[in-house]
Amino acid sequence: MEHRPRPGSCPCRRNPAAGLCSNLRMSKLLVFAGSTRQHSFNRRLAQVAAGMARDAGADVTLLELSDFDIPLYNADLEARGTPADVLRLKQVLFDHPAWIVCSPEYNGSYTALLKNTIDWASSPVKGDPVWQDGTRAFRGKVVGMLSASPGALGGLRSQSHLAPLLTNLECWLAPKAFALGQAGSAFDEHGALVQDAQRERVRGVVEQVLWATSRLHAGQF
């Protein structure tokens, strides 16, 4: 009987040296955190996820939201013209079919930075033949959610609020997600996760996102 790998797993995992199978290696993956804090746990987690995907052969962009000059959303400001960096962000989001979002938890939800970023990126640009469709940058993206927090829940509540927002924007959410608790002691001095079990949970999310992206864009769902 032919062995069929379970959904979301790469058959090459049986031989880790082989990396991901060839149809996953070319997947374009965008990884970013909803924080700009210099020592953010979620930025560290994003770097871990990006490194795993690169090691597996994926084409990875590690995005820093601080590289975009995006003001607090204001419809009056938008009426005077969508900021250039918002248009640049829309294009980056659109160009990557797969995303990993690392969401900090502030007051039991995702950050104002992440909400503001999504509000601008999903706002229609009037008169623009490309970006007048507000969901264009989001529609059909396969998204994996990670979070990290010093607390025991690891930012899990931020994921529970972020999930319906992304679904409303027509993203596909990977069933696997991971919330890293006690993040203050989870990384070594080089930024790597200390525990094997935590590394495997992050790798599981990354692999499932890449696997689902390859299947979705091949029309196999």
Indicate the pLDDT class of residue 27, thresholds 50, 70 and 90.
confident
Indicate the pLDDT class of residue 18, thresholds 50, 70 and 90.
very low
In a domain, 113, yes or no: yes
Indicate the pLDDT class of residue 19, thresholds 50, 70 and 90.
very low
Burial of 117 by CB count in 10 Å (0-12 exposed, 13-18 middle, 19+ buried)?
Answer: buried
**Using one digit for the tens of pLDDT, what is the confidence trace for 91-121?**
999 999 999 999 999 999 999 999 999 999 9
**Using one digit for the tens of pLDDT, what is the confidence trace for 133-168?**
999 999 999 999 999 999 999 999 999 999 999 999
Handedness of CA 194, 198, 202, 203 (dihedral sign): positive
In a domain, 15, yes or no: no
Considering only 49-58, 68-77, 179-188, 212-221, which range has the smallest mean pLDDT? 212-221
On the question of pLDDT at 202 being above 50, the answer is yes
- The pLDDT of residue 33: 98
On the question of pLDDT at 88 being above 50, the answer is yes
What mean pLDDT is predicted for residues 194-204? 98
Name the residue type at position 204.
G
Side-chain half-sphere exposure of 149, counting CA atoms within 13 A = 22
Indicate the pLDDT class of residue 25, thresholds 50, 70 and 90.
low
On the question of pLDDT at 35 being above 50, the answer is yes
On the question of pLDDT at 9 being above 60, the answer is no
* Phi, psi values for residue 174, rounded to 5°: -65, 135
User: Domain containing 136: what range?
Assistant: 24-217
pTM: 0.88
- The pLDDT of residue 205: 98
Cβ atoms of 70 and 88 within 8 Å: the answer is: no
Handedness of CA 208, 210, 211, 216 (dihedral sign): positive
As for how many domains the chain has, the answer is 1
Q: Show the beta-strand stretches assigned E in the chain.
A: 28-33, 59-63, 98-102, 142-148, 172-180
In a domain, 17, yes or no: no
DSSP letter (8 states) at residue 99: E
In a domain, 126, yes or no: yes
In a domain, 18, yes or no: no
End-to-end CA distance of the chain: 23
Question: How far is Cα 208 from Cα 177, in angstroms, rounded to an integer?
Answer: 10
In a domain, 8, yes or no: no
On the question of pLDDT at 5 being above 50, the answer is no
CATH number for the domain harbouring residue 59: 3.40.50.360
In a domain, 155, yes or no: yes
In a domain, 7, yes or no: no
Nearest to 81 by CA among 125, 51, 115: 125
